Amino acid sequence: MTFDKLEIIAPILKAIEAKGYTHPTPIQEKSIPILLRKRDLLGCAQTGTGKTAAFAIPILQHIYNDATPEKGRRKIKALVVTPTRELAIQIKDNFSEYGKYTGIVNTVIFGGVKQGAQTQALNRGVDVLIATPGRLLDLIGQGYISLRDIKYFVLDEADQMLDMGFIHDIRRIIDMLPKKRQSLFFSATMPSSIVSLAGKILGNPDKVTIKPEQTTAEKVGQSLYYVSKKAKPKLLVFLLKTEDTDSTLVFTRTKHGADKVVKGLQKAGIQAEAIHGNKSQNARQLALNNFKNGSTKVLVATDIAARGIDVSELSLVVNYDLPNIPETYVHRIGRTGRASASGNAISFCDTDEKPYLKDIQKLIKQDIEVVKEHPFLLDGVDSLVAEEEKPQRQRQRGRSSKSSKPSNSSRSSNSSRTSTSSTSSTSSKSSKSGSNDWRRGNSTSRRRPQKKSE
Ligand code: AMP
Protein backbone atom coordinates (compact mmCIF):
# COMPACT_ATOMS: atom_id res chain seq x y z
CA MET A 1 0.00 0.00 0.00
CA THR A 2 1.31 3.42 -0.93
CA PHE A 3 -0.03 6.82 0.09
CA ASP A 4 -1.47 7.63 -3.34
CA LYS A 5 -3.93 4.74 -2.93
CA LEU A 6 -5.51 6.53 0.04
CA GLU A 7 -7.09 9.28 -2.06
CA ILE A 8 -5.07 12.00 -0.46
CA ILE A 9 -5.08 15.30 -2.34
CA ALA A 10 -2.02 16.40 -4.30
CA PRO A 11 -0.74 19.21 -2.04
CA ILE A 12 -0.67 16.88 0.95
CA LEU A 13 0.80 13.98 -1.01
CA LYS A 14 3.58 16.28 -2.13
CA ALA A 15 4.36 17.18 1.48
CA ILE A 16 4.33 13.54 2.55
CA GLU A 17 6.76 12.74 -0.23
CA ALA A 18 8.97 15.62 0.85
CA LYS A 19 9.02 14.06 4.35
CA GLY A 20 10.37 10.90 2.75
CA TYR A 21 7.39 8.73 3.71
CA THR A 22 6.73 6.06 1.12
CA HIS A 23 4.27 3.76 2.85
CA PRO A 24 1.54 4.51 5.35
CA THR A 25 1.98 2.94 8.78
CA PRO A 26 -0.74 0.45 9.81
CA ILE A 27 -2.71 3.04 11.75
CA GLN A 28 -2.57 5.42 8.80
CA GLU A 29 -3.66 2.76 6.38
CA LYS A 30 -6.64 1.88 8.56
CA SER A 31 -7.67 5.30 9.85
CA ILE A 32 -7.23 7.65 6.91
CA PRO A 33 -10.04 6.10 4.79
CA ILE A 34 -12.40 6.12 7.81
CA LEU A 35 -11.60 9.73 8.59
CA LEU A 36 -11.86 10.87 5.00
CA ARG A 37 -15.45 9.54 5.12
CA LYS A 38 -15.98 11.91 8.06
CA ARG A 39 -16.68 9.08 10.49
CA ASP A 40 -15.84 9.36 14.19
CA LEU A 41 -12.88 7.27 15.25
CA LEU A 42 -11.84 5.52 18.43
CA GLY A 43 -8.14 4.73 18.06
CA CYS A 44 -6.24 2.49 20.45
CA ALA A 45 -2.67 3.39 19.59
CA GLN A 46 0.29 5.13 21.10
CA THR A 47 2.89 7.65 20.03
CA GLY A 48 5.41 6.12 17.66
CA THR A 49 2.82 4.38 15.50
CA GLY A 50 2.40 7.33 13.13
CA LYS A 51 -0.93 8.33 14.62
CA THR A 52 -0.37 12.07 14.26
CA ALA A 53 -0.29 11.84 10.48
CA ALA A 54 -3.24 9.45 10.66
CA PHE A 55 -5.41 12.25 12.01
CA ALA A 56 -3.60 15.34 10.70
CA ILE A 57 -3.77 14.35 7.03
CA PRO A 58 -7.57 13.84 6.85
CA ILE A 59 -8.24 16.98 8.89
CA LEU A 60 -6.04 19.06 6.60
CA GLN A 61 -7.74 17.53 3.59
CA HIS A 62 -11.23 18.34 4.89
CA ILE A 63 -10.32 21.92 5.71
CA TYR A 64 -8.70 22.33 2.30
CA ASN A 65 -11.73 20.92 0.51
CA ASP A 66 -14.25 22.82 2.65
CA ALA A 67 -12.50 26.13 2.04
CA THR A 68 -14.91 28.99 1.43
CA PRO A 69 -13.82 32.61 1.45
CA GLU A 70 -13.90 33.88 5.01
CA LYS A 71 -14.80 37.39 6.05
CA GLY A 72 -12.40 38.77 8.62
CA ARG A 73 -9.86 36.59 10.34
CA ARG A 74 -9.77 32.80 10.00
CA LYS A 75 -11.95 30.82 12.35
CA ILE A 76 -10.66 27.80 14.25
CA LYS A 77 -12.03 24.73 12.48
CA ALA A 78 -10.01 21.97 14.05
CA LEU A 79 -8.98 21.52 17.67
CA VAL A 80 -6.45 18.97 18.90
CA VAL A 81 -6.17 18.60 22.67
CA THR A 82 -3.14 16.75 23.99
CA PRO A 83 -1.74 16.42 27.53
CA THR A 84 1.80 17.74 27.30
CA ARG A 85 3.64 20.64 25.81
CA GLU A 86 6.08 18.31 24.02
CA LEU A 87 3.32 16.40 22.32
CA ALA A 88 1.54 19.63 21.44
CA ILE A 89 4.65 21.02 19.75
CA GLN A 90 5.27 17.76 17.94
CA ILE A 91 1.70 17.70 16.63
CA LYS A 92 1.94 21.33 15.56
CA ASP A 93 5.14 20.58 13.65
CA ASN A 94 3.44 17.67 11.92
CA PHE A 95 0.47 19.84 10.86
CA SER A 96 2.89 22.44 9.53
CA GLU A 97 4.82 19.86 7.55
CA TYR A 98 1.90 17.93 6.07
CA GLY A 99 0.01 21.15 5.39
CA LYS A 100 2.83 23.21 3.96
CA TYR A 101 1.34 23.30 0.43
CA THR A 102 -2.26 23.84 1.56
CA GLY A 103 -2.13 27.37 2.94
CA ILE A 104 -3.79 26.10 6.13
CA VAL A 105 -2.62 27.96 9.23
CA ASN A 106 -2.10 26.35 12.62
CA THR A 107 -0.78 27.34 16.01
CA VAL A 108 0.00 25.71 19.33
CA ILE A 109 -0.77 26.88 22.86
CA PHE A 110 0.42 25.41 26.16
CA GLY A 111 0.94 26.52 29.72
CA GLY A 112 4.09 27.36 31.63
CA VAL A 113 5.09 30.19 29.32
CA LYS A 114 3.89 33.75 28.80
CA GLN A 115 0.79 33.93 26.68
CA GLY A 116 1.72 36.98 24.55
CA ALA A 117 3.11 35.18 21.50
CA GLN A 118 0.25 32.68 21.62
CA THR A 119 -2.50 35.28 21.76
CA GLN A 120 -0.85 37.24 18.94
CA ALA A 121 -0.92 34.14 16.74
CA LEU A 122 -4.56 33.55 17.66
CA ASN A 123 -5.43 37.15 16.84
CA ARG A 124 -3.94 36.76 13.38
CA GLY A 125 -6.38 33.87 12.81
CA VAL A 126 -5.77 30.11 12.60
CA ASP A 127 -7.53 27.13 11.04
CA VAL A 128 -6.09 24.47 13.33
CA LEU A 129 -5.39 24.86 17.03
CA ILE A 130 -3.28 22.41 19.02
CA ALA A 131 -3.59 22.90 22.76
CA THR A 132 -3.01 21.54 26.22
CA PRO A 133 -6.21 21.68 28.30
CA GLY A 134 -5.33 24.24 30.98
CA ARG A 135 -4.08 26.97 28.67
CA LEU A 136 -6.93 26.34 26.28
CA LEU A 137 -9.54 26.96 28.97
CA ASP A 138 -7.60 29.94 30.22
CA LEU A 139 -7.52 31.64 26.82
CA ILE A 140 -11.16 30.75 26.14
CA GLY A 141 -11.96 32.42 29.47
CA GLN A 142 -10.04 35.53 28.40
CA GLY A 143 -11.95 35.67 25.12
CA TYR A 144 -9.05 34.89 22.78
CA ILE A 145 -10.55 31.62 21.58
CA SER A 146 -14.00 30.57 20.49
CA LEU A 147 -14.83 26.91 19.84
CA ARG A 148 -18.05 27.83 17.99
CA ASP A 149 -16.74 26.91 14.54
CA ILE A 150 -14.96 23.65 15.40
CA LYS A 151 -15.79 20.92 12.92
CA TYR A 152 -12.96 18.53 13.75
CA PHE A 153 -12.01 17.60 17.28
CA VAL A 154 -9.17 15.32 18.37
CA LEU A 155 -8.60 14.15 21.92
CA ASP A 156 -5.09 12.72 21.96
CA GLU A 157 -3.49 10.45 24.59
CA ALA A 158 -6.74 10.26 26.55
CA ASP A 159 -5.42 7.86 29.18
CA GLN A 160 -2.51 10.16 29.94
CA MET A 161 -4.99 13.06 30.21
CA LEU A 162 -6.92 11.22 32.88
CA ASP A 163 -3.74 10.18 34.69
CA MET A 164 -2.71 13.82 34.79
CA GLY A 165 -6.05 14.83 36.30
CA PHE A 166 -7.44 16.66 33.28
CA ILE A 167 -10.84 14.98 33.33
CA HIS A 168 -12.77 18.06 34.47
CA ASP A 169 -11.01 20.28 31.97
CA ILE A 170 -11.82 17.83 29.21
CA ARG A 171 -15.48 17.73 30.18
CA ARG A 172 -15.67 21.52 30.14
CA ILE A 173 -14.03 21.66 26.72
CA ILE A 174 -16.40 19.05 25.29
CA ASP A 175 -19.41 20.99 26.57
CA MET A 176 -18.28 24.00 24.56
CA LEU A 177 -17.94 22.16 21.25
CA PRO A 178 -20.61 22.34 18.57
CA LYS A 179 -22.71 19.15 18.49
CA LYS A 180 -22.18 18.70 14.76
CA ARG A 181 -18.55 17.77 14.34
CA GLN A 182 -16.21 14.91 13.55
CA SER A 183 -14.53 13.55 16.67
CA LEU A 184 -11.40 11.47 17.03
CA PHE A 185 -10.33 9.89 20.27
CA PHE A 186 -6.93 8.28 20.81
CA SER A 187 -5.68 6.37 23.80
CA ALA A 188 -2.89 3.84 24.29
CA THR A 189 -5.01 1.86 26.74
CA MET A 190 -8.76 1.41 27.05
CA PRO A 191 -9.76 0.96 30.70
CA SER A 192 -13.46 1.47 31.53
CA SER A 193 -12.96 5.13 32.51
CA ILE A 194 -11.61 5.80 29.02
CA VAL A 195 -14.37 3.90 27.30
CA SER A 196 -16.96 5.92 29.20
CA LEU A 197 -15.23 9.21 28.33
CA ALA A 198 -15.05 8.14 24.68
CA GLY A 199 -18.80 7.46 24.81
CA LYS A 200 -19.38 11.10 25.77
CA ILE A 201 -17.33 12.45 22.90
CA LEU A 202 -17.96 10.11 20.00
CA GLY A 203 -21.13 9.27 18.12
CA ASN A 204 -20.98 5.80 16.69
CA PRO A 205 -17.27 5.52 16.02
CA ASP A 206 -15.27 3.16 13.87
CA LYS A 207 -12.55 1.52 15.89
CA VAL A 208 -8.90 0.97 15.07
CA THR A 209 -6.45 -0.83 17.35
CA ILE A 210 -2.74 -0.89 16.71
CA LYS A 211 -0.61 -2.89 19.10
CA PRO A 212 2.99 -1.82 19.57
CA GLU A 213 5.34 -4.07 17.65
CA GLN A 214 6.77 -6.40 20.19
CA THR A 215 7.20 -9.76 18.63
CA THR A 216 10.32 -8.96 16.63
CA ALA A 217 12.16 -8.14 19.83
CA GLU A 218 11.86 -11.77 20.80
CA LYS A 219 13.58 -13.07 17.65
CA VAL A 220 16.57 -10.81 17.62
CA GLY A 221 19.78 -11.31 19.58
CA GLN A 222 20.41 -8.12 21.50
CA SER A 223 23.35 -6.80 23.42
CA LEU A 224 24.21 -3.58 25.13
CA TYR A 225 27.49 -1.70 25.32
CA TYR A 226 27.93 0.96 27.95
CA VAL A 227 30.16 3.54 26.33
CA SER A 228 30.72 7.27 26.66
CA LYS A 229 29.43 9.52 23.91
CA LYS A 230 33.02 10.39 23.07
CA ALA A 231 34.13 6.78 22.67
CA LYS A 232 31.17 5.69 20.54
CA PRO A 233 32.98 6.31 17.20
CA LYS A 234 35.92 4.17 18.31
CA LEU A 235 33.70 1.38 19.57
CA LEU A 236 31.80 1.33 16.29
CA VAL A 237 35.01 1.09 14.26
CA PHE A 238 36.29 -1.62 16.61
CA LEU A 239 33.14 -3.70 16.24
CA LEU A 240 32.90 -3.32 12.50
CA LYS A 241 36.55 -4.31 12.12
CA THR A 242 36.53 -7.25 14.49
CA GLU A 243 33.16 -8.71 13.70
CA ASP A 244 32.38 -10.33 10.45
CA THR A 245 29.19 -8.63 9.27
CA ASP A 246 28.04 -8.37 5.68
CA SER A 247 25.65 -5.50 6.05
CA THR A 248 25.18 -3.20 8.99
CA LEU A 249 22.54 -0.56 9.50
CA VAL A 250 23.58 2.06 12.05
CA PHE A 251 20.96 4.31 13.60
CA THR A 252 21.62 7.80 14.89
CA ARG A 253 19.11 10.20 16.39
CA THR A 254 20.06 13.18 14.26
CA LYS A 255 20.99 13.90 10.64
CA HIS A 256 24.13 15.70 11.74
CA GLY A 257 25.03 12.68 13.87
CA ALA A 258 24.62 10.38 10.87
CA ASP A 259 27.01 12.47 8.79
CA LYS A 260 29.56 12.52 11.61
CA VAL A 261 29.46 8.76 11.99
CA VAL A 262 30.01 8.29 8.25
CA LYS A 263 33.00 10.64 8.29
CA GLY A 264 34.53 8.75 11.24
CA LEU A 265 34.06 5.40 9.54
CA GLN A 266 35.49 6.59 6.26
CA LYS A 267 38.52 7.94 8.09
CA ALA A 268 39.01 4.49 9.57
CA GLY A 269 38.84 2.95 6.11
CA ILE A 270 35.31 1.59 6.38
CA GLN A 271 33.06 2.28 3.42
CA ALA A 272 29.84 3.87 4.71
CA GLU A 273 27.05 6.13 3.50
CA ALA A 274 24.32 8.11 5.22
CA ILE A 275 20.67 8.53 4.41
CA HIS A 276 18.57 11.18 6.08
CA GLY A 277 16.09 13.94 5.41
CA ASN A 278 18.70 16.51 4.35
CA LYS A 279 19.86 14.37 1.44
CA SER A 280 18.11 14.60 -1.89
CA GLN A 281 15.82 11.78 -2.90
CA ASN A 282 18.38 10.77 -5.54
CA ALA A 283 21.28 10.69 -3.10
CA ARG A 284 19.22 8.58 -0.71
CA GLN A 285 18.20 6.17 -3.41
CA LEU A 286 21.78 5.82 -4.59
CA ALA A 287 23.04 5.11 -1.06
CA LEU A 288 20.29 2.57 -0.57
CA ASN A 289 21.05 0.82 -3.86
CA ASN A 290 24.73 0.65 -2.95
CA PHE A 291 23.81 -0.90 0.36
CA LYS A 292 21.44 -3.38 -1.20
CA ASN A 293 23.92 -4.51 -3.83
CA GLY A 294 26.67 -4.84 -1.22
CA SER A 295 29.07 -2.17 -2.45
CA THR A 296 28.41 -0.25 0.78
CA LYS A 297 28.62 -2.45 3.85
CA VAL A 298 27.49 0.13 6.36
CA LEU A 299 24.49 2.40 6.03
CA VAL A 300 23.97 5.11 8.64
CA ALA A 301 20.40 6.33 8.94
CA THR A 302 18.00 8.38 11.00
CA ASP A 303 14.72 6.73 11.94
CA ILE A 304 12.57 8.64 9.53
CA ALA A 305 14.85 7.93 6.57
CA ALA A 306 15.08 4.27 7.50
CA ARG A 307 11.33 3.70 7.45
CA GLY A 308 10.41 1.64 4.46
CA ILE A 309 13.97 0.38 3.96
CA ASP A 310 13.64 -3.25 3.18
CA VAL A 311 16.93 -5.08 2.97
CA SER A 312 16.55 -8.83 3.15
CA GLU A 313 20.08 -9.80 4.10
CA LEU A 314 20.68 -7.36 6.91
CA SER A 315 22.95 -9.03 9.45
CA LEU A 316 23.34 -6.37 12.09
CA VAL A 317 21.61 -3.29 13.43
CA VAL A 318 23.59 -0.90 15.61
CA ASN A 319 21.78 1.60 17.79
CA TYR A 320 24.56 4.15 17.90
CA ASP A 321 22.16 6.38 19.82
CA LEU A 322 19.33 4.85 21.77
CA PRO A 323 15.94 6.12 20.60
CA ASN A 324 13.90 8.18 23.06
CA ILE A 325 10.71 6.49 21.88
CA PRO A 326 10.87 2.83 22.93
CA GLU A 327 8.74 1.59 20.02
CA THR A 328 11.40 3.00 17.70
CA TYR A 329 13.86 0.50 19.17
CA VAL A 330 11.56 -2.32 18.15
CA HIS A 331 11.19 -0.83 14.67
CA ARG A 332 14.94 -0.56 14.35
CA ILE A 333 15.87 -4.04 15.46
CA GLY A 334 13.01 -5.43 13.40
CA ARG A 335 15.13 -4.53 10.35
CA THR A 336 17.21 -7.56 11.06
CA GLY A 337 15.88 -10.99 11.92
CA ARG A 338 13.27 -10.88 9.19
CA ALA A 339 11.34 -14.00 8.34
CA SER A 340 13.06 -16.97 9.95
CA ALA A 341 16.49 -15.35 10.15
CA SER A 342 17.83 -14.70 13.62
CA GLY A 343 19.14 -11.19 13.42
CA ASN A 344 21.29 -9.26 15.80
CA ALA A 345 21.17 -5.84 17.29
CA ILE A 346 23.66 -4.05 19.46
CA SER A 347 23.04 -0.85 21.30
CA PHE A 348 25.38 1.77 22.65
CA CYS A 349 24.30 3.47 25.84
CA ASP A 350 25.93 6.42 27.55
CA THR A 351 24.93 7.67 30.98
CA ASP A 352 22.39 10.14 29.59
CA GLU A 353 20.65 7.40 27.69
CA LYS A 354 19.89 5.23 30.72
CA PRO A 355 16.27 6.44 30.99
CA TYR A 356 15.69 5.48 27.33
CA LEU A 357 17.11 2.04 28.05
CA LYS A 358 14.73 1.64 30.95
CA ASP A 359 11.73 2.48 28.77
CA ILE A 360 12.90 0.10 26.05
CA GLN A 361 13.37 -2.80 28.41
CA LYS A 362 9.97 -2.15 29.90
CA LEU A 363 8.36 -2.24 26.49
CA ILE A 364 10.09 -5.37 25.23
CA LYS A 365 9.87 -7.02 28.66
CA GLN A 366 13.44 -8.14 28.31
CA ASP A 367 16.70 -7.21 29.95
CA ILE A 368 19.22 -6.66 27.22
CA GLU A 369 22.45 -8.44 28.06
CA VAL A 370 25.24 -6.06 28.94
CA VAL A 371 28.59 -6.64 27.26
CA LYS A 372 30.88 -6.10 30.16
CA GLU A 373 34.26 -6.42 28.61
CA HIS A 374 35.22 -4.25 25.72
CA PRO A 375 37.99 -1.72 25.20
CA PHE A 376 35.82 1.37 25.47
CA LEU A 377 33.85 0.57 28.57
CA LEU A 378 32.23 3.58 30.18
CA ASP A 379 33.81 4.72 33.45
CA GLY A 380 31.61 3.83 36.37
CA VAL A 381 29.90 1.10 34.40
CA ASP A 382 30.00 -1.20 37.41
CA SER A 383 27.43 0.85 39.23
CA LEU A 384 25.25 1.10 36.11
CA VAL A 385 25.38 -2.63 35.63
CA ALA A 386 24.79 -3.30 39.29
CA GLU A 387 21.77 -1.03 39.18
CA GLU A 388 20.63 -2.85 36.07
CA GLU A 389 21.07 -6.23 37.70
CA LYS A 390 19.47 -5.40 41.02
CA PRO A 391 15.92 -6.19 39.99
CA GLN A 392 17.15 -9.27 38.14
CA ARG A 393 18.92 -10.49 41.24
CA GLN A 394 15.83 -9.90 43.29
CA ARG A 395 13.70 -11.79 40.84
CA GLN A 396 16.20 -14.58 40.53
CA ARG A 397 16.40 -14.99 44.26
CA GLY A 398 12.69 -15.59 44.20
CA ARG A 399 12.97 -18.13 41.43
CA SER A 400 14.97 -21.34 41.19
CA SER A 401 18.71 -21.44 41.65
CA LYS A 402 19.20 -22.29 37.96
CA SER A 403 20.43 -19.05 36.49
CA SER A 404 22.23 -17.53 33.52
CA LYS A 405 23.25 -14.65 35.72
CA PRO A 406 26.92 -13.77 35.53
CA SER A 407 29.01 -14.88 38.47
CA ASN A 408 30.38 -12.36 40.89
CA SER A 409 33.86 -13.03 39.63
CA SER A 410 32.98 -12.12 36.09
CA ARG A 411 31.27 -9.01 37.31
CA SER A 412 34.25 -7.89 39.31
CA SER A 413 36.50 -8.35 36.31
CA ASN A 414 34.64 -5.52 34.59
CA SER A 415 36.41 -2.89 36.53
CA SER A 416 39.59 -3.61 34.64
CA ARG A 417 39.53 -2.61 31.04
CA THR A 418 40.36 -5.27 28.58
CA SER A 419 41.46 -5.30 24.99
CA THR A 420 39.42 -8.34 24.08
CA SER A 421 35.80 -8.20 23.15
CA SER A 422 34.56 -11.20 25.01
CA THR A 423 31.16 -9.82 24.81
CA SER A 424 28.79 -11.81 26.83
CA SER A 425 29.53 -12.39 30.43
CA THR A 426 28.76 -16.03 29.81
CA SER A 427 31.42 -16.23 27.12
CA SER A 428 35.14 -16.28 27.53
CA LYS A 429 36.09 -16.29 23.87
CA SER A 430 37.91 -13.41 22.32
CA SER A 431 36.30 -11.43 19.58
CA LYS A 432 38.38 -12.86 16.76
CA SER A 433 38.09 -16.46 17.74
CA GLY A 434 34.48 -16.27 18.73
CA SER A 435 33.42 -13.40 16.58
CA ASN A 436 29.82 -14.35 16.59
CA ASP A 437 29.35 -14.70 20.31
CA TRP A 438 27.50 -11.46 20.71
CA ARG A 439 25.24 -12.48 17.89
CA ARG A 440 24.12 -15.66 19.55
CA GLY A 441 20.55 -14.61 19.51
CA ASN A 442 18.19 -15.01 22.35
CA SER A 443 20.56 -16.55 24.79
CA THR A 444 21.92 -13.09 25.40
CA SER A 445 18.62 -11.59 26.48
CA ARG A 446 16.49 -12.50 29.41
CA ARG A 447 12.72 -12.27 29.34
CA ARG A 448 11.18 -10.09 31.96
CA PRO A 449 8.36 -11.61 33.90
CA GLN A 450 4.98 -10.34 32.70
CA LYS A 451 3.33 -7.77 34.87
CA LYS A 452 0.02 -8.86 36.32
CA SER A 453 -1.90 -6.29 34.38
CA GLU A 454 -0.35 -7.29 31.06
P1 AMP B 1 3.79 9.58 15.77
O2 AMP B 1 3.28 8.25 16.27
O3 AMP B 1 2.74 10.34 15.06
O4 AMP B 1 4.46 10.37 16.85
O5 AMP B 1 4.90 9.26 14.66
C6 AMP B 1 6.09 8.61 14.96
C7 AMP B 1 7.19 8.95 13.97
O8 AMP B 1 6.97 8.33 12.71
C9 AMP B 1 7.31 10.43 13.67
O10 AMP B 1 8.67 10.75 13.70
C11 AMP B 1 6.74 10.59 12.28
O12 AMP B 1 7.35 11.67 11.60
C13 AMP B 1 7.09 9.26 11.64
N14 AMP B 1 6.15 8.81 10.60
C15 AMP B 1 4.81 8.92 10.64
N16 AMP B 1 4.27 8.33 9.55
C17 AMP B 1 5.27 7.84 8.81
C18 AMP B 1 5.34 7.11 7.57
N19 AMP B 1 4.27 6.77 6.91
N20 AMP B 1 6.56 6.78 7.10
C21 AMP B 1 7.67 7.13 7.81
N22 AMP B 1 7.67 7.80 8.98
C23 AMP B 1 6.50 8.16 9.49
What digits encode the pLDDT tens for the residues 1-28? 889 899 999 999 999 999 988 899 899 9
The answer to whether residue 414 is domain-embedded is no
Alpha helices for 99-152 (secondary structure H) = 116-124, 133-141
The sign of the torsion formed by the CA atoms of 325, 331, 337, 343 equals negative
Query: Quick one: pLDDT at residue 221?
Result: 87
**Whether 260 and 201 share a structural domain:** no
Q: What share of the chain is helix, strand, coil (3-state, %, to 5)?
A: 45, 15, 40
Any residues with Cβ below 6 Å from ligand 1, and which? 21, 23-25, 28, 47-53, 304, 307
Domain edge (last residue) among 183, 210, 237: 210
* CA 53 / ligand 1 centre spacing (Å): 7
Query: Quick one: pLDDT at residue 395?
Result: 43
**Whether 341 and 197 share a structural domain:** no
The answer to whether residue 429 is domain-embedded is no
* CA 132 / ligand 1 centre spacing (Å): 21
Whether the model clears a pTM of 0.75, i.e. scores above it, the answer is no
**Whether 345 and 361 share a structural domain:** yes
**Whether 245 and 181 share a structural domain:** no
Contact 346, 225 (CB under 8 A): yes
Query: Quick one: pLDDT at residue 447?
Result: 43
Domain edge (last residue) among 185, 210, 235: 210
Residue nearest to atom 20 of ligand 1 (CA): 21
Query: Quick one: pLDDT at residue 401?
Result: 37
Burial of residue 282 (CB within 10 Å: 0-12, 13-18, 19+) is: exposed
Residue nearest to atom 11 of ligand 1 (CA): 50
Which residue ranges in the chain fall short of pLDDT 70? Answer: 46-48, 212-219, 281, 304-313, 337-342, 385-454
Query: Quick one: pLDDT at residue 454?
Result: 22
Residue nearest to atom 10 of ligand 1 (CA): 304
The answer to whether residue 452 is domain-embedded is no
Residue nearest to atom 1 of ligand 1 (CA): 50
Query: Quick one: pLDDT at residue 383?
Result: 73
Query: Quick one: pLDDT at residue 379?
Result: 80
**Whether 294 and 351 share a structural domain:** yes
The answer to whether residue 52 is domain-embedded is yes
The residues near 77 (Cβ < 8 Å, ≥ 6 apart) are 63, 66, 127, 128, 149, 150, 151, 152
Residue nearest to atom 5 of ligand 1 (CA): 50
Query: Quick one: pLDDT at residue 307?
Result: 57
CATH number of the domain bearing residue 276: 3.40.50.300
* CA 327 / ligand 1 centre spacing (Å): 11
Tell me the best of 208, 307, 325 to mutate to test the pocket of ligand 1, counting ligand atoms within 8 Å of each CB and taking the most.
Answer: 307
**Whether 188 and 250 share a structural domain:** no
What is the domain count for the chain? 2
Tell me the best of 1, 21, 184, 255 to mutate to test the pocket of ligand 1, counting ligand atoms within 8 Å of each CB and taking the most.
Answer: 21
Query: Quick one: pLDDT at residue 420?
Result: 28
Burial of residue 249 (CB within 10 Å: 0-12, 13-18, 19+) is: buried
Domain edge (last residue) among 210, 244, 277: 210
Query: Quick one: pLDDT at residue 49?
Result: 77
Atom of ligand 1 nearest to the CA of 304: 22
Query: Quick one: pLDDT at residue 99?
Result: 98
* CA 394 / ligand 1 centre spacing (Å): 38
Structural domain of 144: 3-210
**Whether 309 and 161 share a structural domain:** no
